[in-house]
């Protein structure tokens, strides 16, 4: 008998002549338990009329859960007793146990000097000539050993962050940790991120290697094309989390983290980083690398609740913005209600701007407006670019900015527009921007 990821314990009767018969009976009871477990799981987690993904059905039939590898094979005790009583082998007990896998002994890998050195290289990438990086690098070995010793003795504390505010695309308060702290953040993420990466769904695109906003838009367009082929009038749920980073509760976050990481020293370090920049119990520092991973871990629960629990097959998320493509308006409302319940269970709330629209109207997501047939740039982005180039023309004529600055902004604008149908807009905006240096 083969039970994937499980452990089978049987007590065999002394009579050898009955062993074959007992094995057949054991297989029959096992199938009954699996069928009963799948039925209970389906009744508990799947909305009426919703279909489960094929891989979800396959894994659940094997007694596994997609999210954290825990067993979902359940059966009431009375059903087990009835099945056992009807069997001729009354003196054996079938036990199937599958626990979530957690990882311990991670702290030694985090504080390893080679890991700290690699974290330093990653932290200084693209910032080598900044003042704080140069000051740290003057006594590099001494500073790394100092960080290592503080981590070993548990005396490391976050430094004072540099706080500032950005207003594009909207107002955000940023807390940028000092350079030495960012080395510790990289050292932690380098070790723990692969443990969570294997659990994330494919269509989560924020702050992950090989993903990004462009791939999220392309994935959404493929989903829209499939929806238009299969359904008459598909609808789209466009939703995001209200004040996401500022609303994350630390207790809920670390409940999810502790399902994967059981190393006490690693958890203590992570908690110290999370609470060390003016956030006591609620909120994450926006400028910290660990916050990006923590934000993905938090909403990974929403991802699995929608794709595995609610059976939503066309779902894509970029950080706190997510899109659901549904076959009709009623299915879209069911998916939105399921998402709202899950988000509320995490101590968060959906943005009041969340809406349901026909797919034929296009979807504003990750900086682009996406249809099944084409992709257009976001209108406010093009208006902003036109104002920026007009301002740069005046600044360049007055000698306030160099030509290199202008070239970088033009290259950034072209990199944004090359992924969509924007030729006419690009010619109009750049055609009006004539840079002539004044006397």
pLDDT (tens digit, 0 to 9) for every residue of the chain, 439 residues total?
443 443 433 344 445 556 666 667 767 766 776 666 656 555 544 444 444 444 444 444 444 444 444 433 334 444 444 444 444 433 333 333 344 678 888 999 999 999 999 999 999 998 888 999 999 999 999 999 999 999 999 999 999 888 888 877 778 888 889 999 999 999 999 999 999 999 999 999 999 999 999 999 999 999 999 999 999 999 999 999 999 999 999 999 999 999 999 999 999 999 999 988 878 889 998 888 999 999 999 999 999 999 998 889 899 999 999 999 999 999 999 999 999 999 999 999 999 999 999 999 999 999 999 999 999 999 999 999 999 999 999 999 998 999 999 999 999 999 999 999 999 999 999 999 888 887 6
**Helix ranges (DSSP H) in 258-400:** 264-275, 289-304, 329-345, 379-397
Calpha distance 286→91 (Å, rounded): 59
* Cβ atoms within 10 Å of 104's Cβ, excluding its own: 11
Residue 243 CA: distances (Å) to CA of 88, 315, 316, 345: 61, 21, 20, 16
3-state secondary structure of 272: helix
Q: Within 13 Å and on the Cβ side, how many CA atoms surround 45?
A: 22
Rg for the chain (alpha carbons), in Å? 27
| Structure-token pair, residue 49 | 């009329």
Calpha distance 284→275 (Å, rounded): 8
Has this prediction a pTM greater than 0.85? Answer: no
* Nearest Cα residue to 296 out of 337, 351, 349, 241: 241
Strands 235-240 and 355-358: antiparallel
Contact status, residue 72 vs residue 65, Cβ threshold 8 Å: yes
Which phi and psi angles does 202 have, rounded to 5°? -65, -40
Helix then strand then coil, in percent of the chain rounded to 5, is 55, 10, 35
**DSSP codes joined into one string, 221-242:** HHHHHHHHHH-SS-EEEEEEBT
**DSSP codes joined into one string, 328-354:** SHHHHHHHHHHHHHHHHHTT--B-TT-
């Amino acid at each position: 008998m083969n039970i994937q990821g499980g452990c089978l314990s049987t007590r065999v009767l002394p009579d050898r002549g009955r062993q074959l018969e007992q094995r057949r009976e054991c297989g029959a009871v096992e199938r009954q338990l699996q069928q009963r477990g799948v039925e209970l799981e389906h009744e508990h987690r799947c909305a009426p009329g919703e279909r489960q993904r094929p891989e979800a059905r396959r894994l659940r039939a094997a007694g596994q859960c997609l999210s954290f590898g825990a067993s979902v094979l359940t059966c009431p005790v009375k059903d087990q007793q009835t099945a056992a009583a009807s069997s001729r082998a009354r003196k054996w007990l079938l036990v199937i146990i599958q626990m979530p896998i957690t990882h311990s002994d991670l702290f030694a890998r985090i504080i390893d000097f080679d890991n700290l050195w690699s974290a330093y290289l990653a932290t200084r990438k693209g910032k080598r000539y900044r003042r704080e990086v140069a000051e740290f690098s003057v006594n590099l070995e001494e500073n790394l050993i100092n960080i290592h010793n503080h981590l070993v003795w548990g005396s490391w504390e976050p430094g004072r962050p540099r706080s500032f505010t950005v207003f594009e695309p909207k107002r955000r308060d940023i807390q940028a940790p000092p350079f030495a702290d960012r080395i510790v953040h990289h050292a932690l993420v380098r070790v723990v991120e692969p443990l969570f990466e294997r659990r994330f769904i494919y269509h989560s695109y924020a702050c992950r290697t090989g993903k990004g906003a462009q791939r999220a838009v392309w994935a959404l367009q493929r989903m829209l094309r499939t929806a238009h082929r299969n359904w008459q009038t598909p609808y789209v749920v466009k939703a995001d989390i209200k004040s996401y980073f500022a609303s994350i509760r630390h207790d809920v976050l670390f409940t999810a983290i502790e399902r994967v990481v059981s190393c006490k020293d690693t958890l203590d370090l992570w908690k110290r980083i999370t609470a060390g920049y003016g956030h006591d119990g609620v909120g994450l520092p926006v400028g910290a690398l660990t916050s990006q991973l923590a934000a993905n871990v938090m909403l990974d629960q929403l991802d699995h609740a929608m794709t595995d629990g609610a059976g939503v097959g066309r779902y894509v998320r970029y950080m706190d913005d997510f899109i659901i493509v549904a076959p009709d308006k009623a299915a879209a409302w069911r998916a939105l209600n399921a998402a709202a319940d899950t988000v509320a269970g995490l101590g968060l709330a959906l943005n009041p701007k969340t809406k349901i629209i026909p797919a034929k109207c296009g979807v504003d997501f990750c900086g682009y407006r996406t249809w099944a047939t084409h992709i257009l740039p976001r209108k406010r982005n093009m208006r902003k670019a036109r104002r920026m180039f007009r301002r740069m023309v005046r600044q360049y004529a007055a000698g306030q900015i160099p030509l290199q600055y202008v070239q970088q902004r033009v290259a950034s604008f072209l990199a944004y527009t090359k992924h969509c149908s924007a030729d006419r807009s690009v010619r109009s905006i750049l055609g009006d921007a004539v840079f002539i240096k004044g006397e």
